[in-house]
Structure 1
Amino acid sequence: MSQKIYFHVGLSKTGSTFLQHQVFPKLQGIYYLPTVKYRHALKLLPKIHDERVLVSREFDQQFEQEVKKFSAQYPQAYPIIVLREHSSWAVSNYKRFVKNGHSISFKEFIDIERDKGLFKKRDFDYERYIDLLEQYFAQKPLILFYEDLQKEPVKFVRKIMDYTGAELSYSDVNWNPRHVSYDIDSLKLVRKLSDKIQFQKKLEVHTKPRGFLYNLYANIVRYSILYASKLFPKTWFPKEEFINPAEIEELRQYFSPQWDSLRNKTH
């Protein structure tokens, strides 16, 4: 039997949670190795004897490293990537970083002019991601778009089914959005208080149980702020803009030629 491995690589903030909870586990005719087991995927896969196997994990800055590692063992895998319009992807990821305790501004997150941000322009280069998939995997990647998932989710999922040869009972899927973004006032408050608390970044904590205990403490503080913020009077919230709209537009315009090209190629 010739086993086929399908590798969903994300990107992050492109509907991965919906796919991982509502679609992938319910696909028929394919074994799904969920994201929580990805850390041990290369050890687990040789023990799975199903004809088709789907592995899912979402990446952004770890993309190249993880693709190289996975392809070294499974170069014949079939990659699946979901892209999202650059400025929308940046805003969504920035909100995630603020929620997780980063007090940086949007300009410090992605700086198009000087490229000094936490995320670099190369992290938004979707053609680079596609080139890496084509370089390290023998199979042509399935390229999907988050905007299509929002507009026509059934058609979007149908493309995954056609690519993998799996089936799905649509009535088993909860098509309602799983993640709802936190409101801007709450995120502004978290950003302001994070600057005061000065959370240690997760990547700087390596040891256990110290790392586990720190992350537990940080998450309790962050989510307490987020949920309790609904009870706070409006006067408690910072007045400044969460993101300058001009910075979002600058990002959109910078990457719009690539985005338009990718959309035209795959439609």
Structure 2
Amino acid sequence: MLTNDVYIHIGLPKTGTTFLQECYFPYLKDFFYFGIGTKASPEYYNVIHPLKSRGVMSLTDEYVRNTREQIKTASYPHKKILISDENFDGGNNFSGLADNCIVLKKIFSKPKIIFTFRRQDSFLESYYRECIKTGDFISVKYFLRYYNDSFGSYFGRGSINFDVYNLNWLLYYRHLTDTFGEENVLALPFEMLKQENTIFFTRMADFLGTGNFIPNGVKNPRHSYAALRAVRFLNRFVNNGRNGFPILIQNPFAKILPSKREGKNDLITKLRDISNNYLRMKYLSRMLSHIPCNEQQFISPEIRNKIMLIHAESNRELAEEIKIDLQKYSYY
């Protein structure tokens, strides 16, 4: 039996998770940090990471006992454990949330859950941009299942897409509180982190029972609309297994450049880096950032309004339950 106090940050993605994992969670006093990021402990990949794909039916008593022992050994002598991994959110359309909650409760008994969320329209805009950055070229309408002026259901095959009606953070929050107890769930909006970070981190520190501090860190770079449009076009032709026109090789000089093990020549290292990344955002965005283009969103204002109208009432109820004024962040 684990006697540690366990806190689990499950995301959502696109809610400042990278910032928290790099600049806040690893620096909390008296905590052993299991989590994604450059500060992740080696034990995370051996012990915590496999839990995300662990089927409920495979949670044997022996597996639970061995996992607890590994966690206890890795975290000694810390009394508090903090896990951060937005992949516990349930995956595609959050369909795996219920199973993940069962796994987490079985392993940790009484964990405390941190749930960060974001305005539905803003969440979808950010997620769509991420899809482009990682190689996709799907249309906004496919991504949203938006056809004939209405939103359709999730399509389980092919590229990532969402059932817009499923982004009901109230139901998500209630499932967490029903599973772990209302007193054991902290829900915070991403907009509070951006606009009122002092309040955000005060609430976080109070929940964690630790000293309050405001972390400093580098924000994720925001790539221009022009750069993302160009990348989306090029993605149609990149040899990444997602399209029928794979004419652009992702790493064209891999066979002629020496491997990393064969030397540390600075020029070779730079050429290898360019070869491996020339089709990726960090280069394209830099090159295309000078193109004159009005910054805009991929999801039109009309569609964004429709998305928020769908969730207006549930967002209002969520605000009442978590005692945070979400109206000032335009949730309803």
TM over 0.5: yes
Residue aligning to 2:169: 126
What's the CA shift string for 1:11-60, capped at 9, x where partnerless?
00111112112211221222222324544326452322321111101135
SS at match of 1:79: strand
- Equivalence for 2:81: 53
Partner of 1:228: 287
* Cα distance, 1:140 vs structure 2: 2.6
Give the AA of the match of 1:97.
C
Provide, for residues 117-172 of structure 1, a one-character-per-residue CA deviation record: whole Å limited to 9, x for no partner: 611235412133223323433563111111111121121111111111111444xx
Q: 1:256/1:101 Cα in 2 relative to 1: closer, same or farther (>3 Å)?
A: same
Change in 2 beyond 3 A, CA 1:220/1:254: same
Distance (whole Å) between structure 2 residues aligned to residue 141 and residue 241 of structure 1: 33
Q: CA RMSD in A?
A: 2.8
Please state if 1:266 is matched with 2:322.
yes
Counterparts of residues 41-80 of structure 1 (less than 5 Å): 41=48, 43=67, 44-47=70-73, 48-49=75-76, 50-59=78-87, 60-62=89-91, 63=94, 64=97, 65-80=99-114
Distance 1:31 1:123 in 2: 34
Kept after mapping to 2: 8 A contact 1:98/1:187: yes
2: distance between equivalents of 1:168 and 1:8? 17
1:144 match: 188
Query: Retained in 1: the 8 A contact 2:30–2:80?
Result: yes
Structure-1-length-normalised TM-score: 0.80
The whole-number CA distance in structure 2 between the counterparts of 1:69 and 1:230 is 45
1:162 is aligned to: 206
- Are the structure 2 counterparts of residues 169 and 150 from structure 1 closer, same or farther at C-alpha, using a change threshold of 3 Å? closer
**More helix by percentage:** 1
Alignment check: 8 A CA contact 1:80 1:142 kept: yes
Shift of 1:115: 2.3
Specify every segment of 5 or more residues in structure 2 that has no aligned partner in the other structure, as ranges: 52-66, 156-160, 243-253, 255-272, 324-332
Taking structure 2 as the reference length, the TM-score comes to: 0.66
Partner of 1:35 in structure 2? 36
Structure number, greater radius of gyration: 2
Indicate the structure whose relative CO is greater, using CA pairs within 8 Å and at least 6 residues apart.
Answer: 1
Q: Alpha carbons of 1:179 and 1:134: their partners in 2 closer, same or farther (altered >3 Å)?
A: same
Give the partner amino acid of 1:16. T
Q: Structure 1 residues 219, 123: closer, same or farther in 2, change over 3 A? A: farther
